[in-house]
Amino acid sequence: MYSLIFLGVFSFFLALVLTPAVRNTFRRWGIVDQPGDARRVHKIPIPRVGGVAIALAYVLSYAALFAIRLQAGFLIWDSLDLAIRLLPAAGLIFAVGLIDDLRGLKPWQKILVELLAGSIAYWGGVHVNGFGGFQIGYGWSFPLTLVWLLACTNAVNLIDGIDGLAAGVGLFATCTMLLAALLQNNIVLALAVVPLAGCLLGFLRYNFNPATIFLGDSGSLFIGFLLGCYGVHWSQKAATILGMTAPLMALAIPLLDTSLAIARRFLSHQPIFGADRGHIHHRLLDRGLTPRKVALILYACCGVGACLSLLMMNRHLSGLAIIVFCLITWVGIQHLGYIEFGVTGRMFVEGAFRRQLHSQIALQTYEDRLNAAATPDEYWIVMEAALKEFGFHRAHMSLGGRTFTWEGTLHPVLSWDITIPISDSSESDIVHLTRPFGASGNPNVVGALPDILRKTLGARRLAGWWAPVVRKKVPWRTFRMRSVNTSKS
């Protein structure tokens, strides 16, 4: 117990001393994070290498523990086995984060190093053995361990968007794991976790709003990686059969934010590793909250997740904890008001996704049939069927002197039309389509049909279906959007 108290207190005071020293040094060197980006909320240049102070305080606290030569030192040494085994992998993570802070790295470069560090941690004894009550075999343990460590490492990094948020979230998760270790009498985990808690508490003195130093990638990646490793060790020693569920709840906010970011960017066809203002803290800032209030709100959410994760240690309450956790998560996501998830949900509920899938399949089918048509007459038959299905009202096609015309039985009052030049060398080879406003059919699919007609007819021209008359070049595609009165008197 004396060793735990010493590590926690000493690492706290080390962080209090080292953080301003690191801040002032890098400020003199001009290594600062400049304001001006739309995602940045600070107004003045601020050093972004707080991870240096945290890593130094973390390592030096262990060095001081051995220097004072406490009684039963050999027992302490044995209990520090986890922390010592993780030092090479954690050092690699810290190094890549520091290089990114100073020089800048591409996402794939950081991920490769993170995978290497995860592999080192795995061979050091960090193994994911099960999740949600299901035990996994040896063949799955290694990839799932890498996925977990990669997720935790980058989750803390991605949530580091406002003053004190990543450090505070990390502190809550660290304290949760410390309490769990003490309740389980897991001295190995407690000795590994307690100096990180002291470092983060001391660092928050300078990182909470208004911050004078940022964590940077060196700090956020370092913290996330250690928490991921500690979470795995917690699950290995836990009495509950639910494995990684409790550590997941302890890290709920950063992991949820990362999951939402990936899902949002996937649904909106944005780069997965791109930056945006769609993170949880950005959504709360857009609602008019100050950075300080946003941090406190998310601290409270972390506190709820911590309580639920500790309840998971009780077999009789684990089911209730999972239900409450899922309910709170669902309500929270709804409150954030992400458009991507709202639209996707309505598409599934209203059947729009199935209709769009049907339209895409029909579009691909008609494209294959158009490509298979051997004569202009066969082509026109397939084209007429496609136009009927996608809600067009009238069509006219001129190919090398031949004319094809089709008109539906309905005569809408207002329509819009589009003219598609088939070749760049002939103005007479065109397709003219008319479609009523408000006609059924997916707009994206309808908009793709002219491209298909242009492509397939262009291929037929090259195949010699007709001999185009050489005239002045016209744009490859001309749209004429207008209201057309098609009522007949």
391 vs 350, which has greater pLDDT? 391
Position 128 pLDDT exceeds 90: no
Confidence of residue 8 (pLDDT cuts 50, 70, 90): very high
pLDDT of amino acid 243: 62
- Cα-Cα-Cα-Cα torsion 239, 240, 241, 243, nearest 10 degrees, comes to -100
Position 96 pLDDT exceeds 70: yes
pLDDT of amino acid 170: 94
Confidence of residue 302 (pLDDT cuts 50, 70, 90): very high
- Provide mean pLDDT across the span 186-204: 93
Position 466 pLDDT exceeds 70: no
Helix, strand or coil for residue 129?
A: coil
Q: State the amino acid at position 221 in one-letter form.
A: L
Q: Which of 18-22, 158-162, 397-401 has the lowest mean pLDDT?
A: 397-401
Q: What is the pTM of this model?
A: 0.75
217 vs 241, which has greater pLDDT? 217
Name 379's Cβ contacts closer than 8 Å, sequence gap at least 6. Answer: 370, 373, 456, 457, 460
Query: Which among 31, 90, 73 is positioned nearest to 219, based on CA atoms?
Result: 90
- Provide mean pLDDT across the span 374-387: 86
- Provide mean pLDDT across the span 113-119: 95
- Provide mean pLDDT across the span 460-469: 57
Confidence of residue 486 (pLDDT cuts 50, 70, 90): very low
Cα–Cα distance measured from residue 460 to residue 454, given in angstroms and rounded to the nearest whole number: 10
Cα–Cα distance measured from residue 218 to residue 196, given in angstroms and rounded to the nearest whole number: 14
Confidence of residue 446 (pLDDT cuts 50, 70, 90): confident
User: What helix, strand, coil percent values describe the chain, rounded to 5?
Assistant: 65, 10, 30
Q: At the topology level of CATH, where does 352-485 sit?
A: Beta-Lactamase (3.30.450)
Determine how many CB atoms are found less than 10 A away from the CB of residue 140: 14
Percentage of the chain surpassing pLDDT 90?
A: 31
pLDDT of amino acid 131: 63
pLDDT of amino acid 79: 65
Q: Where are the domains of the chain?
A: 2-347, 352-485
Q: State the amino acid at position 234 in one-letter form.
A: W
- In contact, 242 and 310? CB cutoff 8 Å: no
The total number of residues shown for the chain amounts to 489
Position 477 pLDDT exceeds 50: no
Determine how many CB atoms are found less than 10 A away from the CB of residue 222: 32
pLDDT of amino acid 473: 44
- Provide mean pLDDT across the span 410-428: 78
Cα–Cα distance measured from residue 1 to residue 215, given in angstroms and rounded to the nearest whole number: 30
Position 471 pLDDT exceeds 50: no
387 vs 444, which has greater pLDDT? 387
Q: Which of 123-132, 249-258, 265-274, 438-447 has the lowest mean pLDDT?
A: 438-447
Cα–Cα distance measured from residue 133 to residue 98, given in angstroms and rounded to the nearest whole number: 38
Token pair listed for 233: 């060790």
Residue 426, CA distances (Å) to 450, 453, 468, 473 in order: 18, 16, 6, 7
Half-sphere exposure of 42 (CA within 13 A, CB side): 22
Percentage of the chain surpassing pLDDT 70?
A: 84
Name 200's Cβ contacts closer than 8 Å, sequence gap at least 6. Answer: 15, 54, 167, 168, 170, 171, 174, 223
pLDDT of amino acid 266: 83
Pairing of strands 414-421, 430-436: antiparallel
- Provide mean pLDDT across the span 66-81: 63
- In contact, 153 and 228? CB cutoff 8 Å: yes
Query: Which among 330, 338, 360 is positioned nearest to 266, based on CA atoms?
Result: 338
Q: Is omega for the bond preceding 210 within 30 degrees of 0, making it cis?
A: yes
Q: Can you list the positions of beta strands (E) in 236-384?
A: none
pLDDT of amino acid 76: 58
Q: Tell me the sheet residues that pair with 406.
A: 395
What is the average pLDDT score of the chain? 82
Token pair listed for 194: 């307690």
- Provide mean pLDDT across the span 420-431: 77
Q: Report phi then psi at 239, rounded to 5.
A: -80, -25
Question: 454-463 pLDDT, tens per residue?
Answer: 888 877 766 6
Position 12 pLDDT exceeds 90: yes
pLDDT of amino acid 443: 66
- In contact, 54 and 213? CB cutoff 8 Å: no
Token pair listed for 137: 């075999």
Position 176 pLDDT exceeds 90: yes
- In contact, 126 and 149? CB cutoff 8 Å: yes
Q: In what side-by-side order are the strands of the sheet with 414-421? A: 402-407, 394-399, 430-436, 414-421, 484-485
Cα–Cα distance measured from residue 167 to residue 208, given in angstroms and rounded to the nearest whole number: 9
